[in-house]
Amino acid sequence: MFNIKDLKASIGDKEILKGINLTINPGEVHAIMGPNGSGKSTLAKVLTGHPDFTEAEGSVLLKGKNLLELDPDERALEGLFLAFQYPVEIPGVNNEEFLRMAYNAKMKKNGKDAVDPLDFSDFIQEKLAKLSMDESFLERNVNHGFSGGEKKRNEILQLLVLEPEMVILDETDSGLDIDALRIVAKTVDAYRRADRGILVITHYQRLLDYIKPDIVHVLANGKIVKSGDKSLALELEDKGYDWVEAEAK
Amino acid sequence: MSNRNETKMVVDKKNYIDPDWLLEIRQEAKALFKDIGFPNSRHETWKYLNLDQDLDLERHIKKTPIRRTERDECVSVLFKNNTPECESILANKNDLIITNFRSAYAEHKELIKSSLSKGLLQNPFSYLNTAQFDDGALILVKEGCKVEGPIIIDLQTHVEEERLKGIHTRTLIVLEKGASATVFVQHHSFLDKPEFVNDYFDIVLKEEATLEFILTQEGDQPYRFETIKASIDTKANLNYVSFVNDCLVTRHDMGVDFIGEKAVVNLAGIALLSSESQYFNHLYIDHKVGNCDCSQVFKTILRDKSLSEFSGLVVVAKHAHGTNSTQSNPNLLLSDNARALSRPQLRIDADDVECAHGATMGQLNPEEVFYLESRGLNKSAARALLTFGFAEDIIQRIKQPLIQHECDLILREGLSSYDKHR
Ligand SMILES: Nc1ncnc2c1ncn2[C@@H]1O[C@H](COP(=O)(O)OP(=O)(O)OP(=O)(O)O)[C@@H](O)[C@H]1O
Ligand SMILES: [Mg+2]
């Protein structure tokens, strides 16, 4: 369902992604691990159409459509979702109102009527409960003044509202306390379905204890240098990245 | 309403003459005004506002829509042009007194007199106001009284047979020790000829008094000048929010004097400017004593050929230690032809003082636009939402829920055309 072919991206003269190939079949969960600065977040940004990377080369197919030819909002409406490593704060914009606008953009794309605020309010309550989030988060402004962990949880709330088919999580586990990590990870794991794909970017095995990946990739220096099953994550936790990078050379 | 006060309020308009002390004050103010003269671009603080400019004023007359919310809980003061109509709305109880000056010159002479003679900014229009105002409104909240609903000051301009020589309204708001209130100022214009409007608000907060003061201005007279002077005593608290919704020429002069320690003043404002609108915002914050907090956040959103000027001077006196005063002036420029001038200034003579100031000019943050787009909002919807958020951030600082709601509606209406823009 999700097919990345020879994806390259640069900032200025600096090439950051140097030809990424990755295929995620429906129902699969893939994990990407890799050293700091290896290009993991860049990959997520390129896939979602961040304005710094409009010149990316290669192709990214989601259900047959080349995402690289689409604007970021069109990619989202095709079913792509990124939970950001660093979600931005948006003062003055009410969280619930924003969620409803995003939800209604999707409804419109699907030829359905917009939901009114009251119906949406009922709909969102149930999602909040799944994440053990307090109702007050709806009244606040988008991520504004949220703690690191609260921001991450708010990203997953958006995921539950928008119900995307292809999900990318960029270090969603970092910043979450032990209980929050369990709640969030279990929620994501419950989100797995035969027609959905999930790509988890993480540094730590603990997230993968809850969301067991089918395949683990190592990204180093802009390339996928190794792929394996979930035991690879354990091996990395044990031995670090040096041996993988050495092997790749 | 007590009978005692009712009889006092009947003032014979035709035969009224100002008391001698007031005539004297007016003479002095007139002399001061003549001294400075009508401002022109050679005056530093009037550099960008050319009052002789040949604007086609009548073209710019916009009638303000009448706005009403559920106001059962409110008291209001209605100004028709120069004159407050306090007779009909008097909430003359023992703890809240709302009255016109003429009915109060006897009983509250010292209060009014000291406001008229001392409560001045060094500004020609404040002198002109003192010389010219007809009658004023006094809002006096007695010691310890907490006024529940907002007090509305509705400044209306109407057509009169004779052309007016400008409209000069005068309001004195005094909160005694421990009192609290919310005052909401709005303007309604029923004019079809341009008029020069010069409003003056003198705010006196005694120890531990808490005032929320919201000033809104909408499509209105081509020239609207507002002077706000606040004197803040020990542990008093002022929350001030201004909201300018596209008036042709607006000038705000605000002076805050800290005269007692541990007071907190929050000043915030948002101005939406389009076509050839101009907004001049001048602040003068005087930390005469220490250990007070003052924050200023004044934002503008500029489109077309609009112009804004922010000039904020913060003065910290030599012995005013422990002062914390911040100032910021973010401007959102949505057109290449719009201009925002910003002059935050600090003059600090004390040690142990925290002051920060800054201005930003620019466009929407691309990271924020991208974030919203990545959730399925198209670019123009994302931009519109962020522009709204930029302004709403100020409206949210209004604590009184009725008023916040009302301003929120005005903002949404004012910005509704923006997503088609760029
Ligand atoms: N806008 C930018 N300008 C310059 N360099 C950039 C920019 N964005 C990313 N980079 C560089 O690209 C490289 C990859 O960054 P990226 O954020 O993708 O790393 P990462 O693998 O996500 O790291 P981490 O594990 O720390 O999150 C880094 O060297 C980074 O400094
Ligand atoms: Mg990263």
What is the per-residue pLDDT across A89-143, written as a single tens digit (0 to 9) for each?
A: 999 999 999 999 999 999 999 999 999 999 999 999 999 999 999 999 999 999 9
> What are the residues facing B355 on neighbouring strands?
B325
* Atom 26 of ligand 1, nearest CA residue: A36
Mean pLDDT taken over chain A: 94
pLDDT digits (tens, 9 = 90+) for B363-372: 899 999 999 9
Query: Chains A and B: how many Cβ contacts under 8 Å?
Result: 81
Helix or strand (DSSP H, E) at B189: strand B180-189
> What gap in Å lies between CA A157 and CA A129, rounded to an integer?
10
Confidence of residue B57 (pLDDT cuts 50, 70, 90): very low
Q: What is the pLDDT at residue B6?
A: 39
To test the contact with chain B by mutation, choose from A85, A93, A97, A98 the residue with the greatest count of B C-beta atoms within 10 A, namely A93
Mutate to test the pocket of ligand 1, among A8, A17, A38, A168 (most ligand atoms within 8 A of CB): A38
Angle, vertex CA B222, rays to CA B216 and CA B225, nearest 5: 55
- Distance (angstroms) between ligand 2 centre and the Cα of A163 equals 23
Residue B164 has pLDDT above 80, yes or no: no
Q: What is the pLDDT at residue B325?
A: 93
Query: Which of A169-173, B29-33, B139-143 shows the lowest per-residue confidence on average (mean pLDDT)?
Result: B29-33
Burial classification of residue B65, based on how many CB atoms lie within 10 Å of its CB (0-12 exposed, 13-18 middle, 19 or more buried): exposed
- Please report, for residues A5, A207, A229, the alpha-carbon distance to residue B266 in angstroms, rounded to integers and kept in the order given: 55, 44, 58
Mean pLDDT of the B52-66 span: 50
> What gap in Å lies between CA B79 and CA B216, rounded to an integer?
15
Contact between A102 and B373 using a beta-carbon 8 Å cutoff? no
- Tokens 């201004």 locate to B242
CA count, 13 A, side-chain hemisphere, B343: 14
Contact between B377 and A73 using a beta-carbon 8 Å cutoff? yes
Helix or strand (DSSP H, E) at B190: none
Residue B119 has pLDDT above 60, yes or no: no
Question: Which is more confidently placed, A152 or B73?
Answer: A152
Confidence of residue B51 (pLDDT cuts 50, 70, 90): low
Shortest CA distance to B314 belongs to which of B359, B266, B255, B259?
B255
Type of residue at A70: L
CA distance A187 to chain B (A): 19
Residue A22 has pLDDT above 80, yes or no: yes
Length of chain B: 422
Q: What is the pLDDT at residue A247?
A: 78
Residue B160 has pLDDT above 50, yes or no: yes
pLDDT digits (tens, 9 = 90+) for A140-191: 999 999 999 999 999 999 999 999 999 999 999 998 999 999 999 999 999 9
Specify whether the CB–CB gap between B116 and B22 falls below 8 A: yes
> Per DSSP, which regions of chain A are E strands?
2-11, 14-24, 29-33, 57-62, 65-66, 80-83, 166-170, 197-201, 215-220, 223-228
What is the complex's ipTM, to 2 decimals? Answer: 0.96
pLDDT digits (tens, 9 = 90+) for B210-259: 999 999 988 666 788 999 999 999 999 999 999 999 888 899 999 999 99
Question: Which is more confidently placed, B409 or B85?
Answer: B409
Closest residue to B368, CB basis, from A75, A88, A105: A88
Specify whether the CB–CB gap between B151 and B75 falls below 8 A: yes
Mean pLDDT taken over chain B: 85
Q: What is the pLDDT at residue B79?
A: 81
> What gap in Å lies between CA B262 and CA B290, rounded to an integer?
8
Specify whether the CB–CB gap between B199 and B155 falls below 8 A: yes
Specify whether the CB–CB gap between A37 and A16 falls below 8 A: no
Q: What is the pLDDT at residue B62?
A: 52
Q: What is the pLDDT at residue A36?
A: 93
Confidence of residue B54 (pLDDT cuts 50, 70, 90): very low
CA distance B73 to chain A (A): 26
CA count, 13 A, side-chain hemisphere, B162: 4
- Distance (angstroms) between ligand 2 centre and the Cα of A37 equals 7
Q: What is the pLDDT at residue B16?
A: 83
Q: What is the pLDDT at residue A241?
A: 87
State how far Cα B289 lies from the chain centre: 24
β pairing state of A215-220 and A223-228: antiparallel
Atom of ligand 1 nearest to the CA of A43: 18
Q: Is A237 in the pocket of ligand 1 (CB under 6 A)?
A: no
> Which residues lie below 8 Å from residue B45, measured CB to CB, with a gap of 6+?
B39, B282, B311
> What gap in Å lies between CA B20 and CA B26, rounded to an integer?
10
Residue A38 has pLDDT above 80, yes or no: yes
Specify whether the CB–CB gap between B341 and B302 falls below 8 A: no
Type of residue at B161: E
Q: What is the pLDDT at residue B313?
A: 92
> What are the residues facing B183 on neighbouring strands?
B151, B213
> What gap in Å lies between CA A25 and CA B56, rounded to an integer?
67
- Please report, for residues B32, B165, B170, B193, the alpha-carbon distance to residue B162 in angstroms, rounded to integers and kept in the order given: 27, 9, 21, 12
Mean pLDDT of the B133-159 span: 89
Q: Is A202 in the pocket of ligand 1 (CB under 6 A)?
A: no
Q: Is A222 in the pocket of ligand 1 (CB under 6 A)?
A: no
Q: What is the share, in percent, of chain B residues with pLDDT greater than 70?
A: 82
Confidence of residue B175 (pLDDT cuts 50, 70, 90): very high
β pairing state of A57-62 and A29-33: unpaired
Q: What is the pLDDT at residue B189?
A: 78
Question: Which is more confidently placed, B119 or A139?
Answer: A139
> What gap in Å lies between CA B167 and CA B170, rounded to an integer?
10
Q: Is A39 in the pocket of ligand 1 (CB under 6 A)?
A: yes
- Distance (angstroms) between ligand 1 centre and the Cα of B386 equals 26
Contact between B370 and A50 using a beta-carbon 8 Å cutoff? yes
Question: Which is more confidently placed, A195 or B417?
Answer: A195
- Distance (angstroms) between ligand 2 centre and the Cα of A166 equals 19
* Contact residues, chain A, for B379 at CB < 8 Å: 71, 73
Residue B202 has pLDDT above 80, yes or no: yes
Mutate to test the pocket of ligand 1, among A7, A17, A32, A36 (most ligand atoms within 8 A of CB): A36
Q: What is the pLDDT at residue A82?
A: 98
Residue B336 has pLDDT above 60, yes or no: yes
Q: What is the pLDDT at residue B355?
A: 82
Q: What is the pLDDT at residue B13?
A: 64
Return the CA Rg of chain B.
21
* Contact residues, chain A, for B378 at CB < 8 Å: 71, 73, 105
Closest residue to A92, CB basis, from B370, B382, B396: B396
For ligand 2, a single-atom ion, the residues with CB < 5 A are A 40-41, 85
β pairing state of A14-24 and A197-201: unpaired
Mean pLDDT of the A61-86 span: 96
- Tokens 């259900």 locate to A63
Q: What is the pLDDT at residue B261?
A: 97
- Tokens 């924020």 locate to B368
Q: What is the share, in percent, of chain A residues with pLDDT greater than 70?
A: 100
β pairing state of A223-228 and A65-66: unpaired
Domain boundaries, chain B: 20-260, 365-422
Residue B40 has pLDDT above 90, yes or no: no
* Atom 13 of ligand 1, nearest CA residue: A37
Q: What is the pLDDT at residue B9?
A: 44
Contact between A91 and B376 using a beta-carbon 8 Å cutoff? no
> What gap in Å lies between CA A172 and CA A213, rounded to an integer?
15
Q: What is the pLDDT at residue B8?
A: 39
Residue B380 has pLDDT above 80, yes or no: yes
Q: What is the pLDDT at residue B422?
A: 36
> Which residues lie below 8 Å from residue B314, measured CB to CB, with a gap of 6+?
B285, B287, B294, B325, B327, B344, B345, B346, B347, B348, B355, B357
Considering the domain delimited by A2-92+167-248, tell me its CATH architecture: 3-Layer(aba) Sandwich (3.40)
Q: Model-level pTM?
A: 0.90
> Which residues lie below 8 Å from residue B248, measured CB to CB, with a gap of 6+?
B55, B57, B60, B221, B222, B223, B276, B277, B278
Atom of ligand 1 nearest to the CA of A85: 27
Phi and psi dihedrals of B210, rounded to 5?
A: -130, 120
> What are the residues facing B239 on neighbouring strands?
B212, B266
